[in-house]
Structure 1
Amino acid sequence: MTDNEILNELNNPEFRINITRLIWRSHQFNRLNSEYLKEILKQQLELKELLKGNKEHKIENNLESKFSEIDSKIRAYVNKDLIDDMNYIQE
């Protein structure tokens, strides 16, 4: 479907969009992507530790603390962005 066809369909009174389903699917994809990114980050941190020459038992301790640190930073950035977005919407 082209952009023009979509716009034409949106003007069609019989064209219905299930907003709840759309939001739910978007939420599902966001969660899935979030989990993928967490796993990728953990693997990158593990590889970085291996390249430093650390032993496996030491890596696990470092991995969790570094992951928590990075996760906290990302969450702080996201929260700030969300607040900024909400302030922009309210203007």
Structure 2
Amino acid sequence: MPFGAAILMALFALCGFSAFLFTTTQYLQDVHGRAVPAPGRSAGRGAWLALGLGAGILVLALLSTGRRALGTATRAAALFEDLDRHR
């Protein structure tokens, strides 16, 4: 079941990010009066590169933190199982 929950969380995250992009584009078009292709070009290539690198670094940091947490949880579960066996 954990894999199914991870898939579901990924889908919800993708939907949330898509909604964010859609509303941001609507905001730029309605409030600032920009044309449809203009919102993507207005930030410049450097901003998109920084955003992509920042997201990549965040993913790597979260992966390493998750691995450490999983290792700690596995060791704690094994410790509690040993304690239960000795009772």
The runs of 4+ residues in structure 1 deviating greater than 4 Å are 65-69, 88-91
Partner of 1:35: 14
Map 1:64-75 → 2, pairs under 5 A: 70=51, 72-75=53-56
Change (3 A) 1:47 1:68: farther
Shift, 1:56, TM fit: 1.6
Identity of aligned residues (%): 6
Unaligned runs of 5+ in 1: 1-21
Partner in structure 2 of residue 83 of structure 1: 64
Contact persistence 1:42–1:67 (CA under 8 A): no
**Which structure ranks higher in relative contact order (CA pairs < 8 Å, sequence separation ≥ 6)?**
1
Q: CA RMSD in A?
A: 3.1
CA distance in structure 2 between the partners assigned to 1:84 and 1:31 by the alignment: 18
For structure 2, list consecutive stretches of 5 or more residues without a partner in the other structure: 73-87
What is the count of residue pairs matched by the alignment?
69
